[in-house]
Amino acid sequence: KTKFAPNITASIFVVFYIALTGFSPSVIRAGIMLLCVYLSRVIRRRADTLNSLGLAVTLILLFNPLMAGNVSFLLSLFATAAICFASSEITSDITPYNFEDNYIKGKFKSITGSILTTLTVLFFTIPVSGFFFGCISLISYLKYIKKISYPYLEQAPNKDS
């Protein structure tokens, strides 16, 4: 059973959204990657994130080579590459403790996975930030860790009830 119509419809909406946002480099990159996913579903193949990223970068630079110096494009590229390279490696086995409660174990994995992924993205984007902005904000690491951890800590279970 083919899923041709839903994927083509979704692809049309992706192209419409890219146009609606003004063809910003990061949205173009994300849109091309998403179009790769939809195309892979139509041809019944598995989409690969790194290959989709490579195709997106190639197409963008073929149509506009000046994007190679665009800060928005480079930050989006480096951040996405960090997630592609690091997500499976970082989050594969991050539960060093033997938790009895599955809820706590799940929350621990969510918090540490989010923090480590964020730190990896920040680490990968340091060269671009340093080059274009002339400085690197080390306080941003602590700010993002607090910002990501806060929603998880707010949802702590109430053991009294």
Q: pTM, whole model, 2 decimals?
A: 0.76
Q: What is the pLDDT of residues 21-35, one digit of tens each?
A: 999 999 999 999 999
Comparing 2-16, 37-51, 64-78, 106-120, which segment has the lowest mean pLDDT? 106-120
CB of 86 closer than 8 Å to CB of 125: no
Q: Indicate the average pLDDT of the chain.
A: 83
pLDDT value of residue 54? 95
pLDDT at 161 over 50: no
Tokens of 64: 């506009």
pLDDT at 76 over 80: yes
pLDDT value of residue 35? 96
- In whole angstroms, give the CA distance from residue 144 to residue 161: 32
In percent, the amount of the chain with pLDDT more than 90 equals 42
* DSSP states of 57-77: HHHHHHH-GGGGG-HHHHHHH
